[in-house]
Each structure stands twice: as structure tokens, then as C-alpha cells.
Amino acid sequence: MRYSVRELLCLSKQPAEKAAELTMRGPKRGGVAKCRLVKLVVNFLFYFRIDEEEPVGALLLEQCRIQKEDDTGFSLVFVDEPERKYSFTCETKDECEEWIEALTKASYEYMRQSLIFYRNEIQKITGKDPLEQYGISEEIRFQTRS
């Protein structure tokens, strides 16, 4: 996926699906946990210094695992780079669970699997492909992998 810094800055200013001040630790060895404003927009997780408008960084939520660490903590680990782990701590257990759910549902792969599931369910009920009217019928990109 290609994107420019300007596009990311524009995206970071969009309304968030979820945002909060969380304690965050990056992948650097001996990295210090810092309070950051963390903002989920589509499938990007932006993080900001509390008093700044431009993000310090952005994480594309693809090919990563979200793991619960303890009652109030979770981590984000990239499949191809398991040593690249970002840890987050929330105020409460409920807030932690909400973040895990929101981040899990933010990836393209999750949305793709949901589309396939609901497409098949609608087709079972109605006998018609709901995407046929859009010229998407029987395309390989929506089929599940064997």
C-alpha cells in the first residue's frame, strides 16, 4: 500500500472510531512508557504527543496480532516482524477490551472476511448474490482461500 506523509496527516485529522490517552511503549529495547493520545482511523492507529496536533507515528493495522497482556494492557505485534511490539495500557479492564475489539475489527482482512460471511448468508436466505447488481458476482477476490 502506498501513501504519502501528506495523506497520512490528512487522515489523522479525520474523526476517530476510537480515541483515548493511553500509556504506550514502542519496540525499542529499554523504551520508556509514555502517555500518548491514541486515535484509530479506518485501519491506521495514530499516536500523538498529548499537546501536539500532528501524529508522532502511525501503525497500519494489517498483518498484525492484537494480544491481551493483562487486565488493562494489550500489545500489537506485526506478523513479519515479531520483535516489533507496541504495548498499550488502559485505565480500566473494560476500556482495554473495547480497544482490542476495535483494533481487531479495523483490519482489511477482518472486513473482507465479514463481507464474505454476510454475502454467503444473504445468498442462502434469498438465493441471490447481493453483489451481483454491482457487477461483482463470482469474482475470485471475494472467494475464500482453500
Is the C-alpha dihedral spanning 93, 98, 101, 106 positive or negative? Answer: negative
| Residue 131: per-residue pLDDT | 81
Contact residues for 98 (Cβ-Cβ < 8 A; gap 6+): 18
In whole angstroms, what is the distance from residue 35 CA to residue 90 CA? 10
pLDDT band at 134 (very low <50, low <70, confident <90, very high): confident
Q: Mind listing the pLDDT tens digit for each residue in 62-108?
A: 889 999 999 999 999 998 988 889 999 999 999 999 999 999 999 88
CA neighbours closer than 13 Å in the CB half-sphere of residue 24? 22
In the chain, % of residues over pLDDT 90: 57
Q: What is the pTM of this model?
A: 0.78
| Residue 146: per-residue pLDDT | 45
Report, as an integer, the average pLDDT of 38-44. 94
Looking up cell 504506550, which residue turns up?
24
